[in-house]
Amino acid sequence: MSVLVGKQAPVFNTKAVVNGSEIVEDFSLKQYEGEKYVVFFFYPADFTFVCPTELIAFQEKAAEFEARNTVLVGASTDSAFSHWKWLQTPHNQGGIQGVKYPIVADHSLEISKAYDVLAGEEVYDEDGNVKFEGAPEAYRGLFLIDKSGIVRHQIVNDMPLGRSVEEILRVIDALQFTEEYGEVCPANWKKGDKALKATQEGIASYLSEK
């Protein structure tokens, strides 16, 4: 599994569904550089079980991400039409109607490969032919990308394990705090807590007050 933290986020240009209903042909994260933080997350597949709980949970907190100058972008290896259909399906039928942030169609698998979250892989058989082994789906990878296009945080969960939206908001708060004040955030830090200076004196002072 690649570690992308500290590196430029892989660039792509592909189909996506935006605003819950519009299919666009040339969606790219580059449009946000210099302006927005991006939470770019993968999920295994449309019309599944854990996935709608996550996508709806992100939408329910959309205003909190927006308040942090952060955009949400989802992605799976399904087609844009599959995304569109799922977005039109009510919650009581397993759909995600009401989700407004962009959902990227990685039907070619190339984006999942670039972010190294693809569950399966291409291998050569004994005759030298390429075949795909495993599921052509993405693990639950999530990447926090700063305004310069640099990955600052990543997590990758196995498919049965849903993510905590609150934890992602906490990490955004921590990143933005360190950028603004130059201090570092200790274990379990949350907005409003005391941070510390990255010096021996700073850690000594912090620990002595706990």
Catalytic residues: 51
Structure tokens, 9 = 């986020």
Taking the CB of residue 94, how many other CB atoms lie within 10 A of it?
14
Query: First-to-last CA distance in the chain?
Result: 36
Structure tokens, 14 = 């592909």
Say if CB 30 and CB 11 are below 8 A apart.
yes
Taking the CB of residue 197, how many other CB atoms lie within 10 A of it?
14
Taking the CB of residue 164, how many other CB atoms lie within 10 A of it?
11
165-181 helix and 50-60 helix, angle to the nearest 10 degrees: 40
Q: Is the dihedral of CA 36, 168, 100, 30 positive or negative?
A: positive
Tokens 């042909």 locate to 25
Task: Please list the helix, strand and coil fractions of the chain in percent, rounded to the nearest 5, in that order.
Answer: 30, 25, 45
